[in-house]
Structure formats: structure tokens, C-alpha cells
Amino acid sequence: MTELLQQVRVIDPVSEIDGLFDVLIADGYIQAVASRICDISSDTKIRDCQGLVLGIGLVDLYSHSGEPGFEERETLLSLLQAAAAGGFSRVSILPDTSPAIDNPALVAQLQQKRRGQIREMREKEKINLASPASPFPLLHIWGAITLDVAGKQMTELADLASAGVVGFTDGKPLENLALVRRVLEYLQPLGKPVAFWPSDRQLTANGVMREGSDALRFGLPPIPASAETTAIAAMLELVATIGTPVHIMRVSTSRSVELIASAKAAGLPITASTTWMHLLLDTKAVKSYNTSLHLDPPLGNLRDVAALRAGVRAGVIDAIAIDHAPYSYEEKVQAFAEAPAGAIGLELALPLLWQYLVETGEFTALELWRALSSSPAECLGQKVSAIAPDQPAELTLFDPQQTWKVERKSLYTLSQNTPWLGQQLKGHVVQTWC
């Protein structure tokens, strides 16, 4: 199929472009980009895209898959469909499945299952299997650092690297600093990204929300900011000593942003990410006791939110991660402190971030799109293509004005654990090219 997108707003952080263009796409590749394209074949499908945004495909750094082990929460297929519906052309799953992704055989099994599910779906929908165009995002798999992500014994890192994992992480705090040091030494020659979630679980204890007046007011066990900052400080010391590049996950405090800024200024090889919900909500939202607001790390205070937003804009925080964490209705319908931490987000992040950060003027469209696409790709050691002729059409078409209701029938993900359930949102992904 050849398709002409007329007068679409192109947002391309690779080329630093934000402007109105015609874009011609054929067989999964961009054929032309110009202010006006008139020379087209008679079978070209013409789409009026005034008011729509065309950006490079979004890239998620880390999210949780229910499969294998918890398919009632999420399957690989529903995860990929939800990612595509949210504008993501690449999604990376964490290894904390059941069994954990700690061996090459499971990596191969998951990729084979993905290929089989996609082939079955494409044949069912009569999509041309020979076409480079695909409605399914590329699946990346994080390999576990420790066996069964238990934080005790290292996996066969070299074997996992050979199996094609995108990088290494447990997605859980690793508190044994001697083990962390050894991991950094072992990983240095492999050239794969390694991501850590710095969090002191002794300081966290049984806390469920950020320490402060709101925690006292709501009667919920607090987590001090130092549970994160002390762990980050220790991690930075190890990186300074050993020199292995590290990605710091789930940054959530203002002091953490300061520590990372200082480390980057000193030349340490680090990147960092926060999650989309930590940019939008603060501790006051927990007043509703909605268990989808039970996150780990917890939502920060107003100062934390302001620092995280400023950190993303300045590039101190390189990327916005989705950290999609599906849970069943039964798992989330219990007391706030007892419910598992996490919320879905693949289909919600772009509309809400655009609405509350771009439309308010706090972020430019380029700043937000960069933090959701090219920057997370760089954290994974990857590149994304510019919106330019002869490049693959890895794209997201987004309507900032379209309204829709968040409900079961409007979501591809199997789970509904989100504080926005039942609400009307503005902004919806029209199409994703993967």
C-alpha cells in the first residue's frame, strides 16, 4: 500500500524537526517528505492529517509481561497490541516472569512464541506477510542478572548476551553491593546495557507512600526519600570505581535528580529514567486510596514532581519509562497497603503526558517525544530512524484532540489497574507503524 499523509505535524527529535509536511509511505518505508507532495500514483491512498501529529515510534525501556506464568494479567500478544495502541513501536519486558527470564532457552521460547502469535494474527487479519509494515511492536527482552531474580547468584551473563537479550536487569533492588560490583566487572566486556533500581529495602521497610505530611494525614506507612538516594549514591560510587556504564531505573526524588546531575557533570557513564506516572501525580492523589496509585517507588511530593520534570527537560533524566505493570481485578481489590504495587500505562501514557505537559506549555512537543522515543532507544544502545526518505516507517500517528473513555472495551491490555479507569481522556493514537 502507498499512503500519503497530507499536512501532518511532523515531530522528529532525531532531526530536530517540528513542522507541517506531506509524508509519503509505501510498503513500510518513507518515500518522501516535503511541504507539498503532488506527484503520486493513482492507487495512492490520501489521508487528510490536519490537526494530527506524526512522530517517530515510541520506545518503552521497561514493562512487565504476565506471560509466562501470569497470563490472566497479560499475554505477550495483548502486551504487544496494547503497546501498538499506545504508539510504541518497541517494547522491552523485564525478566521477573514465572519462571524468570534467566536462561537462553526461555529467551528463545518467548521470541518464538511472539513470532507465532503475530503470524497467526496477521493471517487472521489477512495482513500481507511479505510486507515490511507490521502493526506489532518489536519485542526486546531484558535478561536477569541473578537466578530467579532472587538477588543471590549471578546468571550465565555471557550465554544470555549470546541469546539476544537487550540488556541485563533484575527489575528489583540488588542490595548486595559486593554482587553489584562483581556484576559490573563481568558485564564490562559484553557491551550490553545494565539497569539497576537503587532502593534500600531496609529503609523502605513496610512503607507504601512517600514520607511526609500526606502520609501522616492518610495513615499510610511512609518510605523516606533516603531509601532511594542512599542507594543511588552507593551505585554511583561503584560506577566511578569500575567504569561500566549503568542505567538507573525509576528515579522518583528531587535529591536523586541532583545526585545524577552531579555524576553526569563529573563524567560518569550513566543514564537515568523516571516513570510517566511520577511526572503527572504527587502524594496528594493517594487521598483516594485507589490501589492503582500504590507504586514502587511511591509517588513523590510536589517538589519531587517539579524536579523530575525539570530533569527530563534538561536531559539529566534521559528517558520516560512506562513500567506497565498489569494485575488482575482480584489482586488489586484489597487494602491500599496490601495490594501489589504497579499500574498499567502503555495505552495511556502518551495522551496524558501530552495533555498535562505539552498542552500546558511546560514541555515542547519535541522534548516530550524525545524522552519517549530516541532517548530511551539510546539507553538501550539502539538508534531510531529520522522521518526522512528511504528510512523505515517506524512511526506513530497521534490525534491530540480525539476524546475517548478508558474502559474495558477501549483497552487492549487484559488488566484495568489504572486510576484513570472510567475517565474521559483527550488524545488518542490513530495508527502505529512498526
Mapped onto helix, strand or coil, the DSSP state of residue 155 is: coil
- What is the C-alpha to C-alpha distance for residues 250 and 300, in angstroms, rounded to an integer? 12
- What is the C-alpha to C-alpha distance for residues 262 and 86, in angstroms, rounded to an integer? 34
The answer to whether 357 and 279 are in contact (CB under 8 A) is yes
Judge residue 123's burial from the number of C-beta atoms within 10 Å of its C-beta, 0-12 exposed, 13-18 middle, 19 or more buried.
exposed
Secondary structure of 377-404 as H, E, C letters = HHHCCCCCCCCCCCCECCEEEEEEEEEE
| Count of CB atoms situated within 10 Å of the CB of 153 | 11
Distances in whole angstroms, Cα of residue 261 to Cα of each of 21, 28, 53, 271, 367: 37, 40, 32, 10, 18
Name beta bridge partners: 222: 209
**What is the DSSP secondary structure assignment for residue 291, as one 8-state letter?**
G
- What is the C-alpha to C-alpha distance for residues 23 and 54, in angstroms, rounded to an integer? 9
Mapped onto helix, strand or coil, the DSSP state of residue 149 is: helix
Residue 309 makes CB contacts below 8 A (sequence gap 6+) with 279, 357, 362, 363
- What is the C-alpha to C-alpha distance for residues 271 and 128, in angstroms, rounded to an integer? 39
Phi and psi (nearest 5°) for 366?
-65, -40
- What is the C-alpha to C-alpha distance for residues 78 and 93, in angstroms, rounded to an integer? 13
Question: CA 235: distance to chain centroid?
Answer: 22
Mapped onto helix, strand or coil, the DSSP state of residue 314 is: helix
Mapped onto helix, strand or coil, the DSSP state of residue 168 is: strand
Residue 87, sorted as left (phi over 0), alpha (psi -120 to 50) or beta, turns out to be left
Mapped onto helix, strand or coil, the DSSP state of residue 60 is: strand
Catalytic residue among 282, 323, 390, 399: 323
| Count of CB atoms situated within 10 Å of the CB of 407 | 11
Encoded amino acid at 54, one letter: L
The answer to whether 308 and 278 are in contact (CB under 8 A) is yes
Query: Is 102 marked active-site?
Result: no
* Catalytic residue IDs: 323
